[in-house]
Amino acid sequence: MKRVIILLTIVLLTISLISTVNAIDKSGAITGAGVTGSLNIGSVTESSAGSDTQAQGGNVSFLNLSANVSTIKWHGYVGNVTANLSLGSGSNILFNFGMAAKSQIKTIFASQNSSFDFSTLVGANLTDVDVAFNWTASDADSGSNVFNDGKTTISQLSAINTSNLTAYVKSGSSCTDSMIWPSGTFKATSTAIAPDYIGLLAFGSPINATGMCDYRGNNSNTTVDYELVVPINNSGIATRLSTYFFFLDIE
């Protein structure tokens, strides 16, 4: 009888060790997220056409031109997150724990792949977005220029390329203090991304558990949990739409 107990202890210990190893697989903690309240806030105010009232036959004018224009390579998302925790299968719930504490929701991810493999999640290279979307790396709004800081503040992973978004901390009744909010790029492979392999990329932003005023600053007292930018594969045509699927990393 003693031998059986010892053997059972060893088996249980082995199972425990296996479970511990599997716990680092991020795919088990990341789940698809439903979307509500979708509303396009709008683009930047673009330049009106300037004019010259002195155009006259026989003359030459030295004229410098400038413009303020919305990029069509990127789309921005801001909003709030919630998650309900329960134990069971499908509609058969043994126990409903209620809404998760906001501090349990760590990261929001977006990908054009509805079955993105988070178990192999790594930080993307600076060139991956440009190659996948067939962009020119030297463009001001290229992936290489947007995701250029190499911070390590998202999902406790290293070598993550992130952009710095301007967010605002709520101070009294206005939002006046600027703050950096990272938005990072990831991939589901350790190798370089090939052209048009958009489905191997994901984009993420850490959740702020206490909420911050959104990017509109003093024009808004609305608090949000995240700000995120994603690239758009529109082949340079602004009216073409892309579909993104959203996921939450919940502990």
Share of the chain above pLDDT 70, in %: 76
DSSP letters spanning 43-107 = ---PPPPP--TT--TT-------------SSEEEEEE----EEEEEETTEEEEEEEEPPGGGEEE
Instruction: Give the pLDDT band (50/70/90) at residue 1.
Output: very low
Per-residue pLDDT tens for 194-232?
Answer: 999 999 999 999 898 888 887 776 666 678 899 999 999
The residue written with tokens 């069971």 in the block is 88
Helix ranges (DSSP H) in 58-212: 128-133, 143-146
* Nearest by Cα to 165 from 184, 152, 150: 184
Range among 40-44, 64-68, 244-248 rated most confident: 244-248
Return phi, psi of residue 188, to 5°: -100, 25
Q: Global pTM?
A: 0.80
- The band of 133, judged by pLDDT with boundaries at 50, 70 and 90, is very high
Backbone angles phi, psi at 221, to 5 degrees: -105, 20
